[in-house]
């Protein structure tokens, strides 16, 4: 009972809120790298599709796709712009951010997107990891070290 109370205390008093997204899916848009602001910060916007398969009550396999708006900035955007392509499978980590904007009729609209912190390209030989503008390249590893 003491452990349970300790865990509840830690959750309520020490641990901060968590805004974390992890996805594995395919890029569904062409990647277009842009420069914004006076400093020319790189930005790239792209979408990722994730699929869910399940069987319905009749035993038929149903597949549903969910589409996620994503954005990356700085060095990570540069690398995504140079190496990622439409149709490629990626692992993405980031956080949710909702933006408010006004449409042409003056109505308030909201868009939720994932601000990318880490992207790993899953298609290809090297499985390049892209993390906050730094690329980690696994090409130097010997294939003999792999367990399969």
CB atoms within 10 A of CB 82: 12
- Where in the sequence is the domain holding 59, given as residue range(s)? 16-136
pLDDT band (50, 70, 90) for residue 139: very low
Residues sharing a CB contact under 8 Å with residue 126, sequence separation 6 or more, in sequence order:
137, 138, 139
Its pTM stands at 0.70
143 in any annotated domain:
no
6 in any annotated domain:
no
Q: 1-60: per-residue pLDDT in tens?
A: 788 887 778 777 776 778 999 999 999 999 999 999 899 999 999 999 999 999 999 999
pLDDT surpasses 50 at 112: yes
Average pLDDT rounded to a whole number, residues 66-73:
97
Provide the CATH number for the domain around residue 90: 2.40.50.140
5 in any annotated domain:
no
């Amino acid at each position: 009972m003491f452990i349970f109370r300790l865990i509840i205390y830690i959750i309520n008093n020490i641990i901060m809120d968590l805004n974390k997204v992890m996805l594995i899916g395919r890029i569904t848009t062409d990647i277009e790298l842009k420069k914004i602001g006076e400093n020319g910060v790189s930005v790239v916007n792209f979408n990722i599709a994730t699929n869910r398969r399940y069987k319905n009550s009749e035993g038929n396999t149903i597949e549903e796709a969910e589409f996620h708006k994503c954005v990356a900035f700085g060095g990570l955007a540069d690398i995504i712009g140079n190496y990622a392509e439409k149709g490629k499978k990626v692992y993405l980590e980031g956080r949710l951010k909702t933006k408010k904007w006004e449409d042409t009729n003056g109505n308030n609209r909201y868009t939720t997107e994932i601000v990318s912190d880490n992207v790993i390209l899953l298609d290809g030989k090297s499985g390049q990891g892209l993390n906050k503008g730094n690329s980690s390249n696994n090409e130097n590893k010997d294939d003999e070290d792999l367990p399969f």
